[in-house]
Amino acid sequence: MISRGDKGLCQRCGGTFIYGYYYAKRYCSKSCELQGNKRNPGTNGVATRFQKGSKPSNYKGWKLSSGYKYIRVGNTYVAEHRLVMEKHINRKLTKTEVIHHLNGDKLDNRIENLQLMKNQALHVSTYHKSCESGKRYKTVKGAS
């Protein structure tokens, strides 16, 4: 076991230092510590298999959040069901418009499974009417 007063080798410059007096475990000085960590910031100088800008092999260009699938568009992620509906109606959705999944599966973004609603209040009232009838995802006529 290493104790205070033992000598060690700096990982950056190879110089010797005494444990317990200055940046004890890896570096002989503050400047060596800073230079050593510049090699890969945030990893304490340890090399990683991913370089800045590279993507892991399982990267698909989308992510899941709250059960919904989000697709990367430029620098942001957008809900896939909103993109599918926008493409179907050939216009951008307003912030108040809500997309309802008819079968309740948030990952099923086929146009046949999506219903455009004017606002959240209409969506909630339709959902609650469906719950009262005992069929959670029953479509209520005239709710679009």
Residue 140 and residue 90 share a domain: yes
pLDDT at residue 76, rounded to an integer: 85
Residue 84 and residue 34 share a domain: no
Q: Bridge partners of 69?
A: 64
pLDDT at residue 117, rounded to an integer: 93
Q: Is residue 140 one of the residues assigned to a domain?
A: yes
Residue 84 and residue 139 share a domain: yes
pLDDT digits (tens, 9 = 90+) for 66-125: 889 998 888 888 999 999 999 999 999 999 999 999 998 999 999 999 999 999 998 888
Q: Is residue 99 one of the residues assigned to a domain?
A: yes
Q: Cα dist. 40→31, 47, 48 in Å?
A: 15, 6, 8
Domain extent, residue 85, equals: 80-144
Q: Is residue 43 one of the residues assigned to a domain?
A: no
| Total count of domains within the chain | 2
Burial classification of residue 95, based on how many CB atoms lie within 10 Å of its CB (0-12 exposed, 13-18 middle, 19 or more buried):
exposed
pLDDT at residue 23, rounded to an integer: 45
pLDDT at residue 140, rounded to an integer: 46
pLDDT at residue 110, rounded to an integer: 95
pLDDT band at 141 (very low <50, low <70, confident <90, very high): very low
Is pLDDT larger for residue 143 or for residue 127? 127
pLDDT at residue 138, rounded to an integer: 47
pLDDT digits (tens, 9 = 90+) for 13-52: 888 877 765 545 677 777 787 776 665 555 554 555 566 6
Q: Is residue 50 one of the residues assigned to a domain?
A: no
Q: Is residue 69 one of the residues assigned to a domain?
A: no
Is pLDDT larger for residue 126 or for residue 53? 126
Q: Is residue 44 one of the residues assigned to a domain?
A: no
Q: Is residue 51 one of the residues assigned to a domain?
A: no
Q: Is residue 130 one of the residues assigned to a domain?
A: yes
Residue 86 and residue 30 share a domain: no
pLDDT at residue 67, rounded to an integer: 86
Average pLDDT of the chain is 76
CA nearest neighbour of 101 among 76, 77, 65, 126: 126
